Structure 1
Amino acid sequence: MKALIRWGGLGGSLLIAVAAYLGGSPFARGTTVTPGTLLAGKQGVLLPLCWIVGLTALSCAWWFGRRHIPSTRWALVTAGLWLVPVLPMLPLGSEDIYSYACQGFVQQAGGDPYGGGVQAFGCPWLDSVSTTWRTSPAPYGPLFLLLAGGVVGLSDTLPGVIAGLRVIALLGLAVLAAGLPVLARHSGRDAGRVVFTVLGCPLILIHLVSGAHNDALMVGLLVAGLALLATARTPALGASSRGSALAASARGSALAASARGSALAASSRTTVFLLVAAGALLGLAVAVKATAIVVLPFAVLAAVPPSSPLRALVRPAAWIGAGALGAVAVVSLLSGRGVGWVGGLLRSGDTVAWTSPSTAVGLVVELGARLVGVPVAAVPVTRLLGILVLAVVLVWLWWRARSGEALACAGLALAATVLCAPVFHPWYAVWPLAVLAATRPESRLLLGLCAFAGTLTLPAGYNWALFTKIPGAVAVTAVLVVLATLAVRMRRTRKVTA
């Protein structure tokens, strides 16, 4: 079974690599493969056949293979093996990597990526960038811009820059691979299964490695920071106290008190160091993508025992906050750009698709209004309502996390952020997957959504959600209505039985 999982998945990866070679996201705009042209051109049926069969084989190996993982090492080797075939090929799933390249060019050239789009700075690869993002400011943090600028400084060719951006993504995945087993063992999960579930997910291969999305770096830093917090909570003091008790019986109470005090001081210094280091890693994640900030309040709760009083949060909040703010300040200073990426986030909702629930509801409202002859712009309103719902959910999750499972609630906070955001891209599903797989019992719903998200794009980056905007919006809204109805009925049932 192990051989079938490993080599079956690799076979799927090889077919996906062939699809990337034949019809990945091209260097020049205007040759994108859309549903209407998928069977046309020199590729014939080979391109869609390789893509569909390869994605199916990889997804099946991932879905069924997670039940048969012999060790963490085996999971790491297998997932790594699957990633190799796409490395020399064209990017898959989106054209964002070309935006990264031009933003890195602007940063390296001394321009301000937050001051406007890459179109105004003479990027030599502008023809590769989607027209949607040519005039948009960079929505990413200063750490990623520093890294992208450094890649451009090392290579003045587009293939070289793509290779460098993929190296950054692989480094992020390496950090993720180091943190996952620690987080899994702390939460009582099987480390090998967790590593395979996350790193073997098709979204990793398609979007985080081939597409080189900076989410790989952000998620890696998040998981590493949470893993350090789990380490900080490891009870080392008990052993020190037992050692002090032995010292007491052997050397007398005065010497025992001194030993106990030294142990407490050493333990306190270690804990402070771990809290600051964890905060720094989480701050660096925020310096890649600002949305990572939703994890910080839960990180503070993870640093104290469950049900601790609010006053007990002050010290860990100070140390974690100092680490996070210090890390952001350092990279902001090094980049020379400050916190200008916050303004760039205002343009991150330019894409309108049903994959965002709040956007789907707005599209349905607009459709209904047009049918009765009263056109309205409902999408901005429903998106704002989605943000308000997110704020309420985050506060509720934080209060719930005070009684325990702070790390798991951090993953739920990421899931809520993904679901309530104005825009959903398939690779966003990796955010909650990485944390929840390591901290909560396995959720088939989450894994199913990740598998579905992997099918949303064509090799060249065309998103099916744009082709099925209205039918998809109606379907998503109907699902939301059904779920809301079931929730109300379950609540009434509980009241009656109570």
Structure 2
Amino acid sequence: MATTTDPAPLSPASPVGDLLVPSRFPYRTIAMGTVGSTLLMLGAFGAGGILIHDPVLGQGPLSWIRYGHGRMLANAVLYVGFALVIWAWVRLGRYVLAGRVGSRPVLIAAFCWMAPLLISPPLFTRDVFSYLGQGAQLLHGLDPYANGPAELDVLPNVVQNVHPLWQTTPAPYGPLFLLLSKGIVALTGDNMIPGVILTRLVLLAGLAGTLWALPRLVRHLGGKLPVTLWLAVASPMMVIHLFGGPHNDLMMLAFLTIGVLAALERKHVVAIVLVTLGMLIKPTAAIALPFLVWVWANHLPGESKVRNFLRAGVASVALFLPVFVLGTWVSLGSLNLGWFAGLKAPQLIANWLNFPTGIGEVFYSLVHLVVDVQPSPFVTVARAIAMIGLAVFGVWQWWLARDGGKNAIFRSAVVLLAVAILFPPTLPWYLTWGFVLLSTYRWQRRNLSAVVAVSVFVTLVYYPTGEQALYDWWYIALVIAASLYAAASLLRPDPLGLAAAWRRDPADKFLPTEPTGGKPAEPATTGSH
């Protein structure tokens, strides 16, 4: 039944991007997600990435929410909120795919869903505490690429809230991001709550940059803007992970998307400079640079493709080197290249969400049934094989991108996605590297359904505290079921008929059914009133 506020029910047969007359504004759907996001925020005070010594709740009358039954209640509130956000997102997606709502309602929905999370404790991660710890190291004259935050003898709140795994681990982030973290800590000092909130506010600049680029990328790459915004901005990976986390990938994506746009618009100098700056935020942005060389080469005049490629390649390197050197020098006060060694730090994370690691663990489990062995050799060999395969795949995709244009950008996004899946570790928010670019292309409905399943799954495979849940098999079974149900719901509201069964009267079985064409059936003629 159509509501007075949300668009009318959708036909499952509606193709993606049909231009229908927009219906009424989806107030109820947006409100549902906003309520869910508010519950996420409230539950996070007891179940999220809470502080070890919380100045707000730690000693006050609400401190019970952090322990025992109070924490169980907080978890329940948080997961109910998560379910409402997903429900609202999928419901909004159905309206978008049928052309019943445009870009504006999608953006309003995303902003409404993000707003409560601005003051939330970190959700499904504790990485922001590491950001602040590494910024504090740089602020106090220490090298974040040599040691972890544990070496700090000041700012005890900052240090103690860094996850134990990263206390003694060098920073894996680019120097420009460490400079941003240094500025945040310079303003907030040892006060973690303002530090987390200010980090989110700074990362909003990354969201603004990405939002500026997406409509223009859609025009170049052939997508539908409402679908793109629904996928890239209103999705749980953006709302809950990148913003609710928060994660510095949000800033890197701004430089990446604007740089790709500049390349497509023949502003190649700007493109190389921006993507290099993105690399100085998070190194994975560098994967796009070789593909942008092909875009540049195909925009050059002349018939010799080899000569054009060499001209574009030399010019790109000539731009990359001074930007890289100057950006590193300004950020760190020296040409400190220790951050390349720091890239090994995340590889300490080993779980089956990373495909090669999972394969290694499977082989270990089989062999361990017969022989008492250690798992590390199996994981190491599987990762090494995957690295070789990834390198071959990346080079092959780069070669196939030699015609430049849309093809080159598409293949760069595919390689970014492959790196997120095959290069250890695979963390849920890494998938946004490729998804944000791919969202600007035209999508088929069944593929979008798969994206929904993946988005829900990767958001839930970590507990709200930031600890992994990947070996809690009963929990993972529930996550898979929820992911598949959300994916099916994009194609058909209430795919299992749960709501209909709840409302159904036993006498309904005698009523005529609705024909497949979508028009109501005529009432049966019985001769009575």
> Which TM-score applies when normalising by structure 2?
0.76
Residues 113-166 of structure 1: CA deviation (Å, up to 9, x unaligned): 001111112242211111110110000110000000011111212222212211
Query: Does residue 336 of the first structure (1) align with residue 333 of the second (2)?
Result: yes
Distance 1:121 1:170, change over 3 A: same
Q: Quick check: 1:284 aligned with 2:242?
A: no
Counterpart contact for 1:29–1:130, Cα < 8 Å: no
Distance 1:319 1:195 in 2: 34
Q: Indicate the residue corresponding to 2:468 in structure 1.
A: 463
Q: Which amino acid aligns with 1:182?
A: R
Which residue does 1:452 correspond to in 2? 457
Tell me how far 1:62 sits from its aligned partner. 1.9
Q: Does residue 1:52 correspond to 2:84, yes or no?
A: no
CA RMSD of aligned residues (A): 2.7
| SS of the residue 2:123 aligns to | coil
In the other structure, the counterpart of 2:21 is none
Alignment match of 2:435 (pick from 422, 433, 442):
433
* Structure 1 counterpart of 2:253: 219
One-letter code aligned to 1:91: P
Residue in structure 1 matching 2:293, options 297, 300, 318: 300
Distance 2:389 2:198 in 1: 39
Distance 1:456 1:29 in 2: 26
Identify if the C-alpha distance between structure 1 residues 74 and 330 changes in structure 2 by more than 3 Å, giving closer, same or farther.
Answer: farther
Match of 2:177 in 1: 144
**What pairs with 1:358-377 in structure 2 (closer than 5 Å)?**
358-376=356-374, 377=377
Separation in 2, partners of 1:39, 1:99: 22
| Alignment match of 2:345 (pick from 339, 344, 347) | 347
What do the CA deviations read for 1:148-192 (whole angstroms, capped 9, x no partner)?
A: 001111121222221221122211111111111111111111123
- Rounded to whole Å, the distance in 2 between the matches of 1:416 and 1:280 is 24
| Equivalent residue for 1:80, pick from 111, 134, 142 | 111
Instruction: Kindly indicate whether the alpha-carbon contact (under 8 Å) linking 1:20 and 1:86 is maintained by their aligned counterparts in 2.
Output: no
CA distance in 1, matches of 2:195, 2:205: 15
**Is this contact kept in 2: 1:278–1:323, CA < 8 A?**
no
Q: CA deviation at 1:42?
A: 4.2
Structure 1 letter corresponding to 2:79: I
CA shift for structure 1 position 453: 0.7
Matching residue within 410, 421, 424 for 1:422: 424
Closer, same or farther in 2 for the Cα pair 1:324/1:73, shift >3 Å?
farther
Gaps of 5+ in 1: 32-37, 233-273, 476-498
Residues 116 and 135, structure 1, Cα contact 8 Å, conserved in 2: yes
Q: Secondary structure at the match of 2:411?
A: helix
In the other structure, the counterpart of 2:128 is: 97
Partner SS state of residue 243, structure 2: helix
Work out which of the residue numbers 291, 316, 321 in structure 2 matches 1:320: 316
1:466 shift after superposition: 4.8
Aligned residue pairs total 428
- Preserved contact between residue 110 and residue 239 of structure 2 (Cα < 8 Å): no
Give the Cα–Cα distance (whole angstroms) in 2 for the partners of residues 39 and 285 of structure 1.
38
The answer to whether 1:401 aligns with 2:405 is no
Normalised TM-score (structure 1): 0.80
Q: Which structure has the higher relative contact order (CA within 8 Å, separation 6+)?
A: 1
Identify which of 410, 413, 416 aligns with 2:412. 410
Instruction: Give the whole-Å Cα distance in 2 for the aligned partners of 1:61 and 1:308.
Output: 53
Q: In terms of mean alpha carbon deviation, does 279-288 or 376-385 score higher?
A: 376-385
CA distance in structure 1 between the aligned counterparts of 2:378 and 2:432, rounded to whole angstroms: 29
Distance 1:326 1:446 in 2: 39
Give the conservation status (yes or no) of the 8 Å contact 1:386–1:422: no
Give the match's secondary structure for 2:50.
coil
1:102-181 → structure 2 map (5 Å cutoff):
102-122=133-153, 123-124=155-156, 125-156=158-189, 157-181=191-215
Distance 1:139 1:5 in 2: 39
Q: Please list every run of 5 or more consecutive structure 2 residues that lacks an aligned counterpart in the other structure.
A: 1-5, 7-25, 58-64, 481-529
Partners of 1:329 and 1:292 lie apart in 2 by 16
Q: Would you say the 8 A contact 1:277–1:323 is kept in 2?
A: no
- The structure-2 alpha-carbon separation of the partners of 1:212 and 1:148, relative to structure 1 and needing over 3 Å to count, comes to same
Name the residue aligned to 1:23. 47
Distance 2:179 2:432 in 1: 23
Structure 2: which amino acid aligns with 1:101? L
C-alpha distance in 2, partners of 1:209/1:331? 25
CA distance in 2, matches of 1:414, 1:310: 26
Partner of 2:505: none
Match of 2:369, as an amino acid? Answer: L
3-state secondary structure, aligned to 2:167? coil
| Match of residue 205 from structure 1 | 239
What is residue 251 of structure 1 aligned with on the other side? none
**Contact 1:142/1:288 (CA < 8 Å) preserved in 2?**
yes
CA distance in 2, matches of 1:276, 1:146: 24
Given the superposition, is the C-alpha separation of residues 318 and 59 from structure 1 closer, same or farther in structure 2, using an over 3 Å criterion? Answer: farther
Shift of residue 39, structure 1, vs aligned partner: 11
The C-alpha deviation readout for 1:396-428, integer Å capped at 9, x for no partner, is 111222245111111101111011111111111
Bigger drift between 2-11 and 407-416 goes to 2-11
**Structure 1 segments (4+ residues) deviating >6 Å:** none
Alignment match, 2:500: none
Q: Percent identity?
A: 29
Aligned partner of residue 465 in structure 1, secondary structure: coil
- Provide Cα deviations, 1:216-245, integer angstroms capped at 9, x if missing partner: 11112111111111222xxxxxxxxxxxxx
Matched residue SS, 1:349: helix
CA distance in 2, matches of 1:360, 1:217: 30
Give the letter for the 1:399 counterpart: W
Assess if the C-alpha contact under 8 Å between 1:142 and 1:339 holds in 2: no
Shift of 1:468: 4.8
Quote the offset at 1:296 in angstroms.
Answer: 1.0
The residue correspondences of 1:265-284 to structure 2 (distance < 5 A) are 274-284=267-277
Q: In the alignment, residue 139 of structure 2 is paired with which amino acid?
A: Q
Q: CA deviation at 1:454?
A: 1.1
Distance, in Å, in 1 between the alignment partners of 2:410 and 2:352 is 28
Q: Is 1:141–1:288's contact at 8 Å kept on the other side of the alignment? A: yes
1:43 to 66, 70, 79: 70
> Aligned partner of 1:215: which letter?
D
Q: Distance in 1 between matches of 2:93 and 2:310?
A: 40
Contact map agreement 1:407 1:439 (CA 8 A) in 2: no
Higher helix share: 1
Q: How does 1:239-258 map to 2 (within 5 A)?
A: none
Following the alignment from structure 1 to structure 2, what is the Cα–Cα distance between the partners of residues 430 and 108?
30
What SS does the aligned partner of 2:439 have? helix
